[in-house]
Amino acid sequence: MPFIKAMDTLALNVLLDDSSILSDLGPDVIKSLLNKASLETHPKGSIIYKRNGGFKDSLRIIVRGAVKVMVHSEGEDDRLVDYRGPGDAIGFMSISGMESRKGDAIAIEETTCYVLERDTVFDLLREKRAFAKRFFEELINRYISKPRRASLKKSLLYGGGERLLFSTPVGETVPRNLITASGDMSIKDAASVMTASKVGSLVIVDGLGNPTGIITDRDFRDRVVAKGRSQDQPVSNIQSVSLVKAEAGETCIEALFKMLHYNIRHILVVEGGRLKGILTDHDLLKLQGTTPLSIVQSIDNQLRPEGLADCAAGIRQIIGLFLEDGLRQTHLLGIVNELYDRLFNKVLLLIEKGLGPAPAESCFLLLGSAGRRDEALLCSVQAGILYRDPTSPEHEETCVRYFTDISDRFSDCAVKLGFESGGAGVFCGSVSSWKRLFVDWLEASNKRTIAASLPFFDMRVQGGNGELKEELYEAVYHHLYRKTVFLDVMASNIIKTSPPITAFKKFIFEKSDPNKGRFNLQQRGLKPLVDIVRFHAIRAGVRETSTPERLRILKEKGSDLSPYVDELAYSFHFLSDLCLQTQYESWKKGNGMEAWLDPADLNKLEEKALKQIFSFISRLQVQIRERHKPIAI
């Protein structure tokens, strides 16, 4: 049974602001809904609505998570016709008593829904024309027009753009002539089979037909020709055994994410537990010209760091395509982060290739917003290089020269790729020097050292030996808990920047040009929230860097922030989505990526939600002030 609990006022209003069918309801109606609100959480993979059965008494609006909608046609496989995210509704057909004609709504990740009971919905339909209009528009667009288009789609010629990635099941894209071979077949015979079949890969199977590995053209080149291996050996000697699979019903975007995440070019497609085919990056590239995979391919083909500028621009273009297609940051963040990782890894690879092997074990770190990985339109890049302590003065001189060179080159390249430097270049030093830096900051505990340290508490390993970072953090946190004044000063520092709202819930605007009548949503809204979460995470010893992950762990640990975690999560996603849209609109106009927001551009519910979020953040800042006795800084 789903877990059901009451939903608080702030979370509900943020949700209602995002909901297409509820956005026209006035504040009085919203207040009446508050008293009837409930939440339920569905585990990943669970069926929320099922054809020929399931819930029939309520309309569900997604608070967080994601749902895929599958429709059934007689004599055909189920088709995926839609994705639903936060603010979207599910259950139109069920509440109308027509669920048997349609399909299933399945949670593709843990999904929390806000529940409107059947009687409440019908009362709204009778009494609120605006709601009825929205309701039936959604019913027609999502459940009649879209499924009909899906049933008419006979090939990949239908549609275009990014929609194909989100709507096309991988089972429709795989070639029907899957070629397999047994593991004891010789390398020579396997090559002959691939040549005769005109395929670039071969799936290796056991006696029961279960896949055990895969070989590609590249394996013949790298593992046979390059190493002078005998072609009489069994093909199992050169197969790759790390198999990543996708269900035939998964969409291409889900398969794409797996390819990016595992850095692979082939993925096995299974249906009902049986091998159906193999999907390649080339198959996905054929869906559309400008896709995440086309950007990955372009990144991989670059030979000089300067050549990656177009790739970075392509990532921003992909973000724009996703936004204009109605997606929110929560939907696109996973794909975009994988693209950023690929981009930065390529920059480092090309730089290191030009300099030769490193003189010491090291790791490359991303700090601040790049380290948190919770901003899709990444504006600036702060980074650091941490290397093993040198063994002699001569070795130290070599390390300083080598890693400083990498630092300087990465900073220059980041600017050429369109990122702001994000501070004074890339901090570079040995483990001991980093420890001394943190100790100096902790001992000084003033406004300057607090501000300097904050991005370093958001750092994550981008490449190299992550154990070096853990060794550093062990020392830092050990010293931190002995120097509690540091947290008191940090508390005083982070509450200096308050949201732009008065005690009477009036926005505070810039009073002079060029941003008169606006406020910076990034600096005055999102940053205070992120600072609060980081502060509580440091206090609780949470070393995760992303804001959503920090909130999740803080809730599990039962920290002081636990009662407010859900509200903070909703507020964070609301602000992030609004901030990203504001940045993108500014960037499109050639005004940079700053998030200067004019509240006049918001509808009434957006304005109301934003004011409530700002007031909520202000209350949390007051709590920090009361508990940590602000110190003059």
Distance CA 488, CA 6 (A): 34
Measure the CA–CA gap between 429 and 471, rounded to whole angstroms: 14
pLDDT digits (tens, 9 = 90+) for 423-450: 556 789 999 999 999 999 988 888 888 8
Consecutive H or E run containing 316: helix 309-324
Q: What is the mean pLDDT of the chain?
A: 81
More reliable by pLDDT, 367 or 263 = 367
Which comes out higher in pLDDT, residue 630 or 365? 365
pLDDT for position 128: 78
User: What number is the average pLDDT over the span 450-456?
Assistant: 89
Mean pLDDT of 243-272: 81
Torsion of CA 539, 541, 543, 545, to 10 degrees: -20
In the chain, count H helices and then E strands.
25, 22
> Is 254's pLDDT higher than 70?
yes
Mean pLDDT for the stretch of residues 460-472 = 94
Average pLDDT over residues 555-573: 90
| SS3 state at 232 | coil
Q: Name which residue leads in pLDDT, 80 or 244.
A: 244
Q: Output 348 or 173, whichever has higher pLDDT.
A: 348
CA distance 335 to 318: 10
What is the Cβ-side half-sphere exposure of residue 4, based on CA atoms within 13 angstroms?
A: 9
CATH number belonging to the domain at 3-152, selected among 1.10.3720.10, 2.60.120.10, 3.30.200.20, 3.20.20.70: 2.60.120.10
Where is average pLDDT lowest: 158-172, 215-229, 278-292, 550-564?
Answer: 158-172
- pLDDT tens by residue, 317-362: 888 877 776 677 777 888 888 899 999 999 999 999 989 999 999 9
* Poorest-pLDDT segment among 25-34, 50-59, 236-245, 291-300: 50-59
Q: Please report which residue ranges of 445-546 form alpha helices under DSSP H.
A: 447-453, 467-480, 485-494, 521, 527-539
Output the pLDDT for position 110: 82
Q: Which pair of tokens denotes residue 426?
A: 């890339």
Is 3.20.20.70 the CATH classification of the domain at 167-285? no
Local confidence band at 593 (pLDDT 50, 70, 90 cut-offs): confident
Q: Please check whether the two domains, 3-152 and 167-285, share a CATH topology.
A: no
State the pLDDT at residue 136: 67
- Residue with token string 């975690």: 565
Where do the domains of the chain lie? Answer: 3-152, 167-285, 484-633
Helix (H, G, I), strand (E, B) or coil at 289: coil
pTM summary value: 0.62
Given pLDDT bands bounded at 50, 70 and 90, which one contains residue 243?
Answer: confident
Highest mean pLDDT among 159-163, 209-213, 307-311, 534-538: 534-538
Query: Across 6-20, 304-318, 325-339, which has the greatest mean pLDDT?
Result: 304-318
Q: Tell which wins on pLDDT, 387 or 134.
A: 387
**Cross-strand partners of 384:** 365, 427
